[in-house]
Chains A and B, each alone.
Chain A
């Protein structure tokens, strides 16, 4: 690792964050869909959904938070793709700069942007009646899970960002990720789903992550769910990072 890694990453992070503050629409478009879903599910469908919990907002907020991240990371692919297409990626790579700083700056930008989006969605949920008596430790655990989840998904986003040939291709990968929470315990309990779907829903990463966050908010014992959730996030993070770095090395060789 180059001796300038941290300094260069900080400089490039400053650059990308300036992009976000100059076009805040990236935050607005990220939060608009999760907020619309929040409204739709709570006020339209929510009354007819039997979850066994008192408040449907409390029940479905964890799933909405994951959807927020899934729609936010598309911008990482977008920004990376634009850097490559515009040639500035090559400029940075031909300079005496720590080379992987370019990727890390985009990843950390994604983390900051998604945390801002999550706070906005959370505030809307509070207005809609979301309440939690969770203590500091539980909130920190939720934040930790969401940060890990964001990093894992962002490294997935780096792969199309580096390898896509069109802008549409660079961002289309996120649609299945946005859809995944619907096939989980995020909006309805899984026990009404037919056999194979139920098996999928109960064993895919979103369910354990949603259950863990939900139990933390509700001050319930989290059991194994939190460990399964963390294992999923860490596993996806490691695999995605490996593939992304591999794509990156092929790009610069």
Chain B
């Protein structure tokens, strides 16, 4: 079932309504193992609904979804063994320290030596110094890094990131991008939702655009670019963007 041939995620004809509101009207897509797949869409397009159905937090009204070869409706427990969800808002315990948050998740995933797992992740996400501090004192970027670190515990083969950089400053955003790239490099499948086009462009192997409850386009960045008329050659003086200026001034190395 979970051999390399089965796709990491396979969604077919997914429908979901909240009372009268039809949020998903037949969503189809497939995510290959080890790839980064971006679900792009405006606010309210249904991105979060897709992620919640795939992570067994919501039940679909129609259609099928398989994650790591398991059906989300009938094999929910197996799906939960295979995934990790990083929700739209950093889901961390504010009152506990960063290390305690990691130990908590390691215990709930029934892993051996939770303390060592926590220390290793704190080091990997440059949180060792802050590890003993209450999360309430963390910055937005540190919180998000801890959040993603919590999602990696137990090395789930598939990770969902729901708008991972919404509300982050440019520097924190680059840190998150770096973490996502490292994940994919190690063979983890990442499904991320975003409303930032450059984020999808930066990270994703494939991009699908969710609009009014359906996937209207699905392809690689190059394929999507071909949908538009061929590029014209124009000479434009390259001005630094405000982001370049900002990052140069604050001196980030990323």
A interface, CB within 8 angstroms of B: 2, 4, 7-8, 11-12, 15, 18-19, 22-23, 86-88, 90-97, 252-253
Contact = CB atoms under 8 A, between A and B. Distances in A.
A27 B55 CA distance: 36
A91 B85 CA distance: 6
Interface string B147-186: 0001000000000000000000000000000000000000
B124 interface: no
Contacts of B77: 2, 96
6 contacts: A86-B89, A86-B92, A87-B91, A90-B87, A91-B85, A91-B150
B91 A86 contact: yes
B45 interface: no
5 smallest CB-CB distances across A and B, nearest first, come from A87-B91, A94-B85, A91-B91, A94-B55, A87-B87
B232 interface: no
Given A15-B93, A87-B90, A91-B105, 4 more contacts: A2-B77, A4-B110, A95-B105, A96-B109
A36 B71 CA distance: 57
Contacts of B109: 95-97
Given A4-B110, A95-B109, A96-B77, A90 B57 contact: yes
B83 A11 contact: no
Given A19-B95, A95-B109, A252 B57 contact: yes
A90 B88 CA distance: 11
A23 B134 CA distance: 12
Contacts of B110: 4, 7, 96
Contacts of A93: 56-57
A163 to B, nearest CB: 16
A253 B96 contact: no
A86 B92 CA distance: 8
Nearest to B154: A96
B95 A90 contact: no
Interface of B: 52, 55-59, 77, 80-81, 83-85, 87-96, 100, 104-105, 107-110, 150
A4 to B, nearest CB: 6
Contact of A11 (B59, B88, B107): B107
Contacts of B92: 86, 88
Contact of A94 (B56, B93, B96, B104): B56
Contacts of A253: 58-59
Contacts of B87: 87, 90-91
A19 to B, nearest CB: 5
A191 B198 CA distance: 76
Contacts of A95: 80, 84, 105, 108-109
Contacts of B85: 90-91, 94
B81 A15 contact: no
A94 B80 contact: yes
B88 A87 contact: yes
B23 to A, nearest CB: 15
A11 B108 contact: yes
Contacts of A96: 77, 80-81, 109-110
Contacts of B58: 253
A92 B89 contact: no
A234 B92 CA distance: 36
Nearest to A89: B91
Given A96-B80, A253-B58, A87 B95 contact: no
B35 to A, nearest CB: 21
Nearest to A102: B108
A104 to B, nearest CB: 14
Contacts of B108: 8, 11-12, 92, 95, 97
A42 B108 CA distance: 48
B54 to A, nearest CB: 10
Contacts of B84: 94-95
B253 to A, nearest CB: 31
Contacts of B94: 86
Contacts of B90: 87
A97 B81 CA distance: 9
B98 to A, nearest CB: 14
Nearest to A97: B108
A121 to B, nearest CB: 25
B87 to A, nearest CB: 4
Nearest to A86: B91
Contact of A15 (B59, B89, B96): B96
Contacts of A11: 104, 107-108
Contacts of A22: 95
A13 B99 CA distance: 18
B19 to A, nearest CB: 13
Contacts of A88: 91-93
